[in-house]
Amino acid sequence: MIFDRIQSSAQELTPSEHKLVRELLARPRDAALGTAGEFARRIGVHEATASRLARKLGFESYADFRDALRQEFIVKTDPAVRVRNTLATAAGGSILGDLVAQEAAALSALADFVPQAGLEAAAQALVGARKLFIFARGNAEALCVLADRRLRRMGVDTVVLSGDARDLAERLAAMEEGDALLAFAFRRAPRHWSIVLDHAARMGAARVVVSDAVGPSLLPAGDHLLFAPRSGSDEAFQTLTVPMTITNALVLQVAKLDEVRSMERLERVGQLLATFEGR
């Protein structure tokens, strides 16, 4: 897959090439149907940058790169395009209608970016962990809260990596071999990303990353990457609908892989909750 090539070449890419990668992953159909010049102009870089990116990804020319994009994305993207066009027409120019159209299109393409095998492998890394450390910054912290609460209810021993450098250091000090890290990153790698990911690697902790179009170019990379483009432009307002769906799917997959423990803990939580509410 093309995003596998991006991951393996991420360290060699320039900032301009990283911008092209984000645009490519957000709108692969547009890149597949246009020229190198059109692709480059959309984000304000020189045409030669697009051609150079194609070569760094292992293609002899941009034409070969575009052919690979067509084979990988055109058929898969068509249903999303149809949904987008249909809903956009019905939206009548309303903010809510346009947002629904964009989200529906992004969600329709989600399964093309997150294969079931990848979801299962990431969930297995979390199920087998002694402790699960969860890291996010900015808007992604909303998903950190969601994942922490839902996984805790199912009996997963979670540690939220939040606060300033001192707080992070104190919490990370508890990480050991056999633990796991669930990290969120959108638009760019957040502050302290490399320190947290590198420390997890040194400790032998499995690293699961949930991201958007920036995912394949993140450095350091995780051991398991679950990513999909969010709706809207990378330079405009974007919601957490797509990564939230990925997170919920990951939580449910964990429950499925460790069903006995998950159900027992959830039932116990329910019984205790009923006791609290009955008094």
Picking from 99-103, 182-186, 211-215, which range would have the lowest pLDDT averaged per residue? 99-103
The answer on pLDDT for 89 being more than 60 is no
Q: Is residue 277 part of a domain?
A: no
Total domain count, the chain:
2
How much is the mean pLDDT over the chain? 87
Assess whether 97 and 128 both reside in one domain: no
84: left (phi over 0), alpha (psi -120 to 50) or beta: alpha
* Higher-scoring residue by pLDDT: 250, 72: 250
Whole-number Å distance between alpha carbons of 257 and 173? 29
How confident is the model at residue 3, as a pLDDT? 74
15: in domain: yes
Q: How far apart are CA 46 and CA 110, in angstroms?
A: 30
CA distances from 91 to 20, 80, 85, 102, 240 (A): 30, 16, 10, 11, 21
* Residue 37 is assigned to a structural domain of this protein: yes
276: in domain: no
Q: Is residue 35 part of a domain?
A: yes
Give the model's pLDDT for residue 198: 95
Span 227-242, pLDDT tens digits: 999 887 655 678 899 9
* 223 lies in some domain: yes
In a domain, 278, yes or no: no
Same domain (yes/no): 71, 38: yes
Whole domain around residue 220: which residue ranges? 116-271
Span 61-68, mean pLDDT?
86
In a domain, 279, yes or no: no
Q: 176 pLDDT exceeds 60?
A: yes
121 & 84 share domain: no
- Could you give the dihedral angle defined by the CA atoms of residues 34, 37, 43 and 49, in that order, rounded to the nearest 10 degrees? 120
Q: What pLDDT, on a 0 to 100 scale, did the predictor assign at position 77?
A: 46
Q: Does 161 share its domain with 260?
A: yes
| Together in a domain, 67 and 126 | no
Separation CA 143–CA 145 (nearest Å): 5
Out of 86, 111, 136, pick the residue that ends a domain: 111
**End-of-domain residue from the set 111, 134, 169:** 111
pLDDT at 127 over 80: yes
- Domain-ending residue, one of 111, 135, 159: 111
- What the block records as the tokens of 261 is 């423990």
Q: How far apart are CA 175 and CA 204, in angstroms?
A: 9
Crossing angle of the two packed helices 193-203 and 165-172, in degrees rounded to 10: 10
User: In this predicted model, which residue has the larger pLDDT, 213 or 84?
Assistant: 213
User: Given this model, what pLDDT does residue 80 score?
Assistant: 54
Whether 238 and 178 share a structural domain: yes
Q: Are residues 138 and 266 in the same domain?
A: yes
Q: Specify whether 132 is located in the same domain as 260.
A: yes
129 lies in the same domain as 36: no
- CATH number, domain at 240? 3.40.50.10490
- DSSP bridge pairs for 227: 211
Q: pLDDT at position 155, please? A: 92
Q: With contact defined as beta carbons under 8 Å apart, do 171 and 148 qualify?
A: no
Ranges 1-5, 133-137, 165-169: which has the least confidence: 1-5
- Together in a domain, 63 and 120: no
Indicate if 229 and 121 belong to the same structural domain. yes
**Stretch 9-27: mean pLDDT:** 85
Cα–Cα distance, 35 to 187 (Å, whole number): 25
Tell whether 38 and 130 lie within a shared domain.
no
The larger pLDDT score, comparing residue 25 to residue 190, is at 190
